[in-house]
Amino acid sequence: MLTSVARVRPAMAFVAAAAMTGALTTGEAVAATPSAAGCRVDYTIGSQWPGGFGAAVTVTNLGSPVNGWQVAWTFAGDERISQLWNGSAAQSGARVTVTNVSWNGAIATGGTASFGFNATSGTSSAVPSAFTLNGEVCTGSVTEPPPGGSTLVGNNFPVTREGAYGDNRYTVFRPANPQAVGVPMPVLVFGNGACAHTNNSEVTRALTFIASKGVVVVDTGSVDGSANGVPSGSPIPSLLTDAITWAQREQNRSGAPLSQRLDLTKVAAAGHSCGGIEALIAAQDSRVDAVVSLDSGLFADGSFGYSRAELARLHTPALFMAGGPSDIAYDNTRANYDLVTVPAVLAMHPQAGHVGFITGNQMTDGMTTVVQFLDMVLNGNATARSYILDPSGLASKSPWTVSKKNF
């Protein structure tokens, strides 16, 4: 019998026992302290036979209560799950993601959730070397979120804008000296307005701002606007998931500026307008931990080939930002926020219109909001959480209005 025991640190437990929905108003009580997190995964191969094996997995929650889980790992060989119980499995190549079913998604502190499966294999199966829970890598201990003091928004690093190594579909915005950041950097994959897949000049200023805070941004579009074989005008969400794969390769490429400088347990997808549709679909990928939709949303009539039913597949906290009634995506943004079941924030600035957050006078405010949201979700930062959720934060800055639910 082969047994593996790994401790897993999940993303912040955002879903409270009772979801709260509505606009933030003065005097509303909001818990500003994020949850401790930690968990153990016990993976046991109970039996093997020619051409297959059976395994059992138990997840023990060591941190604050969670509601909804995904456990993921990568098989070492040709294993393929053929039958699974007490969960729902998705497998792409060797990568496996198991999601809770309706009755076992909640795990109290000290509680467990278990599932088992049978799989085919042409060789003797080995125990996977690493696991993730809700997108976070196993760490072996309970992790307290960082106390006050932002880990992102206070930074101001010089930024390098360059073509992605080996793939001219992308432009990379990163701190010029990754070593100066001092810690592994989160990754943001970004889709452009109008689903522009060659030219990202419209968002250069906004993405430079985000990168200066210690985030590596991988944007669709060649660095010089030259043809790269990708048509523009319609969403291609796989461009964003491929951008995550590119970052994974760079992490391990010898001599790369970003080699071993990325924190691939902290990945977000974002996009503006048509690019926001790309982000909302790409965020269904198990590697994504947060999603930001800027002046965007899926259409009620399924325009661009994606219906609003896709929103039910989101598994991460979401930030929706709209520029007020003059924003062409204003209704879509609000409707999408209303429909999602994940923890979500709706932040609206009536003067921003459709492009103010990326090119207008609201750029600094808008991108600061994005960075604070990423700091809250990816880093568990208490100060950022207060900025996003507390009545004394963004909601107190006229003319912003902020709503939230499921936190």
pLDDT at res. 341: 95
Give the range with max mean pLDDT: 12-26, 109-123, 236-250: 236-250
Average pLDDT, the chain: 86
Residue 71 has pLDDT above 60, yes or no: yes
- Overall average pLDDT of the 45-73 stretch: 85
Domain 2-137: assigned CATH number: 2.60.40.290
User: DSSP character for 316?
Assistant: S
With beta carbons less than 8 A apart as the criterion, state whether 268 and 289 touch. yes
Helices (H) then strands (E): counts for the chain = 8, 22
Q: What's the pLDDT at 34?
A: 41
Angle at 362 between CA 278 and CA 334, to 5 degrees: 50
DSSP secondary structure letter of residue 37: B
The per-residue pLDDT for 138 is 53
Q: Is pLDDT above 60 for 357? A: yes
Beta bridge partners of 73: 96, 131
CB 182 within 8 A of CB 154: no
User: Which of 64-78, 113-127, 208-222, 338-352 is least confident?
Assistant: 64-78
Which strand (E) or helix (H) includes residue 247?
Answer: helix 238-252
Positions of CATH 2.60.40.290 in the chain: 2-137
Confidence of residue 309 (pLDDT cuts 50, 70, 90): very high
Mean pLDDT of 59-88: 85
Lowest mean pLDDT among 255-259, 272-276, 286-290: 255-259
How confident is the model over 212-239, as pLDDT tens digits? Answer: 999 999 999 999 999 999 999 999 999 9
User: pLDDT at residue 26 above 60?
Assistant: no
- Asked if 287 and 251 count as a contact pair (C-beta separation under 8 A), the reply is no
- What is the number of residues in the chain? 407
pLDDT score for 242: 97
Counting Cβ atoms within 10 Å, is residue 194 exposed (0-12), middle (13-18) or buried (19+)? middle
Tell me: pLDDT of 137 over 70: no
Residue type for position 63: G
3-state secondary structure of 188: strand
Give start-end residues of each CATH 3.40.50.1820 domain in the chain: 159-405
* CATH placement of domain 159-405: 3.40.50.1820
> Which tokens hold the place of 384?
């950022």
